[in-house]
């Protein structure tokens, strides 16, 4: 019985053109567009150092580490990232107003960025600063937890910064930024697994489709139908993600680092989360299929834009302002997992993301099952 | 008793779709549910199948209470829903095979059954077709095949012949008769009285969610006051003659409009000869003349005051 249902579900999924479009073709198209956009940026012009100002107040003068870092990335040479001027706050404001600089940094003593608009330059500065803060926090926590590791930590800090500037400057496309777009694209592809979940429910809920009414008449337990269908969806969704990842790395030459098994595991649980969200939407919302698809797309896009698909800084803002949201937003969990794999050497945060995604998937599936378990319908 | 429904009440919000509906289907019979659109046929079927919630009443199938997880009952039921219920992504063969496989695990046996079902609905040339490529009539036939392939003991068909051409319809009806002869009990809903008359051993006429009459077609026709209906083409019937005709002892009603005379006989009386005599003796010229026995429509008309079909 398992094979019979499972393989038929697979047939139904792969032969559904609309479903394949959204869950596979669309992410591939989007990836290609992203790539073209970034390619234009990096090929179109040689990277020009970004004009910025730093407010030369006492905090800046006292923050030796930051001063050194800024000096390092403003030096003429291969790694030059910024054209930096020192100014007082009034002057910096004026420069910004007159578009003489892309943004200015002031310390209070936290490192703050002031920009007027958003754009590539702004996100490069921001990403740079985020990175700086992150490394600094790492050092702080390492030295706090283990004072003797101080030297090593600082070495690591320097290393991170060097690598960062080295990568950003020559390509000019800011790999951090562009990678994060691809990460959120993968997240989107995972969430679009919801289309498969949606279909699975439509095909076993008698009030959602006529064929499901017929399926309901068969002497097969609802739980079985549900489970086998979800398994089929998982398999297809995973295959689709594999195709997307293959396309990204072999055709578009996006470099994901060398953590393949981890990326696959993350994509798998990400896909599971997507599917389970789809099943839940389908089961909870008692509206037509078109509306459900609309809701699914909206939810996925919101989730992904919160994770930084349209503006890389969103993710950071959410983490800062609404950390809880970052912990339950599947797209954030997926992108963050990928991000951690790329930038950190420890897997703690990665596995936390995987675990949360798994728990979310199970919860969503349980909710779905509780709803679809109710076996008689008020109307067909 | 294969199916027993007792005082079933089903509401859709305010609308009372089934109003203390009762039904008893005996083993081996073809039972017809005849009623106009919206009378509650599909609703009663879906309640019997435990797909729909209902407000009141008891339902037993094969002598056991029916419920959504009564799998031992479900395995012996075959359903052909009113709307076509197949998978767009599966071919004719795959559809039948899938549904059959939900009942029959044994592959060889299933294969034979699926072939038989394809034969039954004459879709041999279309086995690799996707539903989208099938005409309305062929789709209906696929719909039927999906419901009966596993050789159920109880077959429930909800208006399976809507939009099917007359020839296929006849094939389907004979097919159902054959299944019945092989031992299946059949519940058949329709709003075509001809079908019900042709096929069913017993018929329940339902209207507004209630059974208004029940019996064999002869019994049903016996329930009403009118008998034979005679239609005559007449060219020069004067009103006085019509009045005289109406007074004939066997005549219940007589209407004359646009050269057509319609005479309704009283129940059990034969007026054809009397009318012929009348025409001749009054020297009335007439063209075609034909006589019809009362139909189930007449039964419905008399009981509810409206036509079965508009
Ligand atoms: N899902 C629903 N929601 C609200 N009312 C409904 C629903 N389904 C049916 N009804 C109403 O219930 C009544 C019975 O409908 P039902 O479909 O059982 O009739 P039917 O005899 O099968 O008619 P038909 O010959 O058109 O199939 C009708 O008045 C119909 O409008
Ligand atoms: Mg109906």
User: Over chain B, what is the mean pLDDT?
Assistant: 89
The answer to which of B32-46, B71-85, B271-285, B292-306 has the lowest mean pLDDT is B292-306
User: Is residue B310 included in any domain, yes or no?
Assistant: no
Residue A5 with chain B: CB contacts under 8 Å? 102
Q: Is residue B55 part of a domain?
A: yes
Q: Are residues B132 and B251 in the same domain?
A: no
Range with the poorest average pLDDT among A5-14, A30-39, A118-127, A346-355: A118-127
- The enclosing domain of B152 has a CATH number of 3.40.50.300
Q: Is residue B241 part of a domain?
A: yes
3-state secondary structure of A310: coil
- Residue B89, chain A, CB below 8 Å: the answer is yes
Contact check, Cβ <8 Å, B84/A221: no
Query: Based on the domain organization, do B139 and B236 belong to the same domain?
Result: no
Core vs surface per residue A161-188: b (16+ CB within 10 A) or e: beebbeebbeebbbbbbbbbbbbbbbbb
In this structure, are B90 and B150 located in the same domain? yes
Residue B86 sits at the chain A interface (C-beta within 8 Å): yes
Distance A131 CA to ligand 1 centre (A): 64
Mark whether B242 and B164 lie in a shared domain: no
Query: Which residue owns the Cα nearest ligand 1 atom 3?
Result: B12
Residues B118, B136, single domain; the answer is yes
**Cβ distance of A12 and B46 shorter than 8 Å:** no
Tell if the CB–CB gap between B12 and A379 is shorter than 8 Å. yes
Per the CB < 8 Å rule, is B51 touching A216?
Answer: yes
Q: Are B201 and B216 in contact (CB under 8 A)?
A: yes
Q: Do B241 and B197 reside in the same domain of the chain? A: no
What is the pLDDT, as a whole number, of residue A155?
Answer: 46
Residue A148 backbone dihedrals phi, psi, to 5 degrees = -70, -15
Task: Give the minimum alpha-carbon distance from A197 to chain B in angstroms, rounded to a whole number.
Answer: 16
Number of structural domains in chain B = 2
CATH number assigned to the domain covering A48-157: 3.40.190
**What global pTM score does this model have?**
0.76
Residues with CB under 6 Å of ligand 1 are A 379; B 12, 15, 17, 35, 37-43, 82, 159, 191
Minimum-distance CB partner of B79 among A4, A203, A214: A214
Domain that holds residue B48: 3-221
B96-142 tens-digit pLDDT: 999 999 999 999 999 999 999 999 888 999 999 999 999 888 999 99
Tell me, yes or no, if B81 comes closer than 8 A to chain A by beta carbon: yes
| CB-CB under 8 Å, A376 with B51 | yes
Q: Nearest to residue A89, comparing CAs of A101, A76, A104?
A: A104
**B206 and B75 inside one domain:** yes
Residues B213 and B244 in one domain: no
Domain check: are B168 and B268 in the same one? no
Ligand nearest to the CA of B206: 1
Q: Identify the band that residue A118 occupies on the pLDDT scale cut at 50, 70 and 90.
A: low
Contact at 8 Å (CB) between A157 and A138? yes
- CB-based contact (8 Å) between B79 and chain A? yes
B83 interface with A at CB cutoff 8 Å: yes
- What single string gives the DSSP state of each residue in A256-269? --S-HHHHHHHHHH
- Does the pLDDT value for residue A50 go beyond 70? yes
Which of A1, A206, A211 lies nearest to residue B51, judging by beta carbons? A206
Q: Looking at residue A57, what DSSP letter applies?
A: -
- Ligand 1 pocket test: pick from B5, B17, B53 the residue with the most ligand atoms within 8 Å of its Cβ: B17
Q: Does residue B300 form part of some domain?
A: no
CA of B38 to the centre of ligand 1 (A): 5
**Residue B204 vs residue A44, higher pLDDT:** B204
Q: Which residues in chain B (11-30) have CB-CB distances under 8 A to chain A? A: 12
Q: Are residues B185 and B265 in the same domain?
A: no
- Inter-chain CB proximity B90 and A210 less than 8 Å: no
pLDDT tops 70 at residue B164: yes
Q: How far, rounded to the nearest angstrom, does the alpha carbon of residue A227 sit from its chain's CA centroid?
A: 28
Distance CA A41, CA B213 (A): 81
d(CA B16, ligand 1 centre) in Å: 10
B-chain residues near A379 (CB < 8 A):
12, 52
- For chain A, the domains span 2-41+177-372, 48-157
Nearest CA-CA distance, residue B295 and chain A, Å:
33
Q: Which of B183, B201, B221 is the last residue of a domain?
A: B221
Question: Does position A28 have pLDDT exceeding 70, yes or no?
Answer: yes
Q: What does A218-233 look like in DSSP terms, one character per residue?
A: SSS-HHHHHHHHHHHH
Mean pLDDT across A93-118: 86
- How close is the Cα of B134 to the center of ligand 1, in Å? 27
3-class DSSP state of B213? strand
Ligand 1 atom nearest to B35, measured from its CA? 21
The whole-number pLDDT of residue B258 equals 86
Whether the pLDDT of residue A302 is over 70: the answer is yes
Which residue of B81, B102, B105 is in closest CB contact with A213?
B81
Q: Shortest CB distance from B89 goes to which of A1, A11, A378?
A: A11
Q: What is the CA radius of gyration of chain B?
A: 23
- Assess whether pLDDT exceeds 60 at residue A150: no
**B22 contacts: CB under 8 Å, gap ≥ 6:** B5, B6, B7, B8, B211
- Is B298 inside a domain boundary? no
Which residue owns the Cα nearest ligand 1 atom 24?
B37
Going by alpha carbons, the residue nearest to atom 22 of ligand 1 is B42
Residues A327-359 have pLDDT tens digits of: 888 888 888 888 777 766 678 888 999 999 999
Check whether residue B154 and residue B289 sit in a common domain. no
Considering the domain architecture, whether residues B92 and B158 belong to the same structural domain is answered as yes
DSSP code of B134? S
Confidence category of residue A146, pLDDT binned at 50, 70, 90:
low
Convert the pLDDT of each residue in B199-229 to its tens digit: 999 999 998 899 988 998 888 887 777 778 8
Q: Is residue B301 part of a domain?
A: no
Local confidence band at A229 (pLDDT 50, 70, 90 cut-offs): very high
In this predicted structure, what is the pLDDT of residue A78?
62
pLDDT, one tens digit per residue, over B8-58 is 999 998 899 999 999 999 999 999 999 888 899 999 999 999 999 999 999
């Amino acid at each position: 019985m398992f094979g019979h249902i499972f393989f038929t579900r697979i047939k139904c999924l792969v032969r559904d053109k609309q479903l394949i479009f959204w869950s596979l073709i669309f992410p591939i198209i989007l990836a290609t567009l992203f790539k073209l956009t970034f390619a234009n940026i990096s090929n179109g012009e040689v990277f020009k150092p970004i004009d910025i100002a730093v407010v030369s107040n006492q905090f800046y003068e006292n923050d030796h580490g930051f001063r050194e870092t800024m000096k390092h990335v403003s030096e003429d040479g291969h790694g030059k990232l910024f054209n930096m001027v020192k100014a007082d706050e009034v002057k910096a404001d004026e420069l910004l107003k007159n578009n003489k600089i892309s943004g200015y940094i002031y310390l209070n003593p936290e490192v703050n960025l002031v920009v007027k608009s958003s754009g590539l330059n702004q996100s490069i500065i921001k990403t740079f600063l985020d990175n700086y803060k992150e490394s600094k926090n790492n050092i702080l926590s390492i030295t706090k937890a283990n004072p003797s590791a101080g030297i090593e930590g600082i070495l690591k800090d320097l290393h991170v910064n060097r690598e960062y500037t080295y990568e950003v400057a020559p390509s000019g496309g800011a790999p951090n930024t562009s990678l994060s777009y691809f990460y959120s694209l993968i997240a989107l592809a995972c969430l679009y697994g919801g289309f498969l979940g949606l279909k699975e429910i439509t095909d076993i809920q008698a009030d959602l489709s006529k064929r499901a009414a017929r399926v309901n008449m068969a002497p097969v337990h609802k739980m079985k139908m549900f489970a086998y269908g979800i398994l089929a969806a998982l398999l297809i969704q995973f295959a689709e993600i594999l195709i997307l990842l293959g396309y990204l790395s072999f055709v578009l030459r996006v470099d994901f680092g060398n953590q393949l098994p981890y990326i696959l595991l993350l994509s798998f649980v990400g896909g599971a989360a997507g599917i389970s969200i789809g099943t839940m939407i389908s089961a909870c919302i008692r509206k037509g299929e078109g509306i459900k698809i609309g809701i699914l797309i909206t939810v996925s896009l919101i989730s992904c834009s919160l994770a930084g698909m349209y503006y890389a800084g969103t993710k950071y803002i959410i983490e800062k302002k609404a950390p809880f949201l970052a912990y339950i937003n599947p797209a954030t969990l997926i992108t963050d997992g990928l991000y951690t794999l790329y930038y950190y050497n420890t897997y703690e945060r990665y596995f936390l993301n995987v675990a949360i995604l798994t728990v979310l998937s199970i919860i969503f599936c349980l909710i779905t099952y509780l709803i679809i378990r109710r076996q008689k319908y008020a109307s067909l | 008793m294969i199916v027993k429904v007792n005082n079933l009440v089903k509401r859709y919000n305010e609308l009372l779709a089934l109003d203390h509906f009762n039904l008893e289907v005996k083993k081996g019979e073809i039972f017809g549910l005849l009623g106009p659109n919206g009378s509650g046929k599909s609703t009663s079927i879906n309640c019997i199948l435990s797909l729909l919630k209902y407000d009141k009443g008891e339902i037993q199938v094969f002598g056991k209470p029916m419920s959504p997880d009564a799998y031992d009952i479900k395995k012996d039921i075959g359903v052909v829903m009113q709307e076509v219920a197949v998978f767009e992504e599966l071919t004719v063969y795959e559809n039948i095979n899938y549904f059959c496989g939900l009942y029959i695990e044994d592959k060889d046996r299933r294969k034979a059954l699926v072939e038989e079902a394809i034969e039954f609905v004459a879709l041999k040339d279309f086995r690799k077709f996707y539903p989208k490529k099938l005409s309305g009539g062929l789709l209906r036939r696929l719909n039927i095949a999906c419901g009966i392939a596993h050789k159920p003991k109880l077959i429930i068909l909800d208006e399976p012949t809507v939009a099917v051409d007359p020839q296929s319809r006849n094939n389907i009806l004979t097919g159902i008769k054959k299944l019945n002869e092989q031992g299946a009990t059949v519940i058949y809903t329709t709003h075509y009285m001809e079908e019900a008359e042709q096929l069913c051993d017993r018929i329940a006429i339902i209207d507004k969610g209630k059974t208004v009459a029940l019996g064999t077609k002869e019994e049903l026709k016996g329930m009403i006051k009118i008998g034979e209906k005679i239609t005559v083409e007449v060219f020069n019937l004067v009103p006085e003659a019509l009045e005289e005709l109406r007074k004939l002892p066997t005549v219940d009603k007589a209407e004359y409009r646009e050269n057509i005379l319609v005479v309704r006989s009283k129940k059990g009386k034969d007026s054809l000869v009397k009318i012929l005599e009348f025409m001749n003796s009054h020297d009335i010229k007439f063209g075609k003349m034909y006589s019809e026995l009362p139909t189930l429509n007449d039964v419905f008309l008399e009981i509810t005051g409206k036509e079965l079909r508009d």
